[in-house]
Amino acid sequence: MEQPKEVDIYRDTPLRFIGYTNEVGEAFRPLIPKTVVNLSYASAFLYVLADVRDKVVKMKKSLSAVDETASYTHKKVIIAGADTLLWQTLASIAIPGFTINRICVANYYLLKKTTKLPKPTRKYITTAVGLLSIPFIIHPIDNLTTYSMDNTIRKWYHKD
């Protein structure tokens, strides 16, 4: 009988949304000071570091039963941490932050060029569009990041 897959609280639960606090910051960029947007990135990166720690600790525990002195053990722990850091940085911070930023910039530009709405109204609409976009980009970006890493860097460090 197959064991049920372990739930990864950083990827399979609502905690995943903490990794998207910078997207909320990007959506609110037209309305809030830049320092608050930067703080949203700091919050997202703390989430990333928490996931890295979680994966490193789990890898250490899984390998301690085998042989703690083997050199491959240290390598596997480093790879687990580096892989998580790269995946989370791409999937939670870089790609979605850029995506929401560009959605908001394009939306604001289109509203400015095609409507006579006052500037504050354009800013609120742009923020709403950015916020409403977040749920639609999460899974495609997660899947794209996994696919890209599986077909590039993971091939390199999973050779042996």
Residue 115 φ/ψ, nearest 5 degrees:
-130, 170
By the 8 A CB rule, do 56 and 80 touch? yes
By the 8 A CB rule, do 51 and 107 touch? no
Per-residue pLDDT of the chain (160 residues; tens, 9 = 90+): 566 778 888 888 888 888 889 999 999 999 999 999 999 999 999 999 999 999 999 998 888 766 656 666 788 899 999 999 999 999 999 999 999 999 999 999 999 999 999 999 999 999 999 999 999 999 999 999 999 999 999 998 876 5
By the 8 A CB rule, do 43 and 22 touch? yes
Amino acid sitting at position 85: L
CB neighbour list of residue 55: distance below 8 Å, 6 or more residues apart: 80, 81, 83, 84
By the 8 A CB rule, do 100 and 27 touch? yes
- The answer, as to whether pTM is greater than 0.75, is yes
